[in-house]
Amino acid sequence: MSNDLDFPARLNLIDDRSAAFREALAAAPALDAQVPTCPEWTLHDLAQHLGQGQRFWAAIVTAGAAETPPPRPTEPAPTDREELIAWFADSTAELLAALRETGPDAPCWTWWTLGQSPQNTAGAARRRLNETAVHTYDARLTAGLPTELPREVALDSVEEFLLTCCSTTVAWPHTPATLAFQATDGPTWYLALSATGAHATRTPATPAAPDATIRGTADELIRMLYGRLPIDSLPIDGDAAIFHQLNDWEPEE
């Protein structure tokens, strides 16, 4: 499947979304504000989660090819607002430095062993952009700031989610089907579900019409895929139940 953003562009967008996250930290009324889309977390918890995640993946790409990942960071993030913002900026800088030093083609450990995303630093950068973008949405929602993802980020994130989080070689446990995810501001992606697993493409695998099509902007589609927007809040043609089956499916490797 074609990638419209290149490696340097994704790194620049990780930096951009991280700056937008820090803006939310600065604007929020309090760091102990509950995150509406992650109600088990405060804004501080969210910042710690994402910042530790950036440091974790910096260590992963630096380690190179490995069967297991390095230990996850456990040091808590600062509780002072200014110190937390600086710590989060350092977390982003650490990730970006590691990605730039290794380059896009270096192999590294990934958790997506059965999906279509590459198991290298290019795949890691794309995953971190997606993760950073969605949690920046969460943080800005908490702070009362504009939340819409930049179009190029949202489009890239929909495709990355389908390739990384949905595609697999584990057998689909229901009737075979094809789902279409139609971005009203971009392409349509297709997810074929069968006994051979789930496979995402930008062109349908068969000439037959998809069993169900969901439509929305790329921003709406990625929020739906992450559970930030109810499936049934978007227009669906065909059998909507299949989208719910996909949402509930947890294939075991």
> What are the tens digits of pLDDT across the range 19-41?
999 999 999 999 999 999 999 99
Side-chain half-sphere CA neighbours of 17 within 13 A: 33
| Residue-wise pLDDT tens digits, 179-214 | 999 999 999 999 999 999 999 999 887 788 999 999
Domain 167-248 in the same topology as domain 7-147: no
> If we measure between CA atoms, which residue out of 82, 79, 23, 18 comes closest to residue 50?
18
Instruction: Give the C-alpha separation, 76 to 211, whole Å.
Output: 47
What pLDDT is stored for residue 50 in this prediction?
Answer: 98
Could you tell me which residues come within 8 angstroms of residue 1 by beta carbon, excluding any fewer than 6 positions away? 116, 159, 163, 200, 201, 202
Size of the chain in residues: 253
Predicted model pTM: 0.96
| Topology annotation, domain 7-147 | Four Helix Bundle (Hemerythrin (Met), subunit A) (1.20.120)
Q: What is the mean pLDDT of residues 228-236?
A: 98
Which amino acid, residue 118?
A: P
> If we measure between CA atoms, which residue out of 182, 194, 190, 183 comes closest to residue 207?
190
Instruction: Give the C-alpha separation, 188 to 159, whole Å.
Output: 10
Domain ranges across the chain: 7-147, 167-248
pLDDT of 135 above 60: yes
Enter the CATH code of domain 167-248.
3.30.1050.10
Helix axis angle for 121-143 and 43-63, nearest 10°, is 170
What secondary structure does DSSP assign to 79-113, as a single string?
A: SSHHHHHHHHHHHHHHHHHHHHHH-TT-B---S-S
CB atoms within 10 A of CB 173: 10
pLDDT of 3 above 90: no
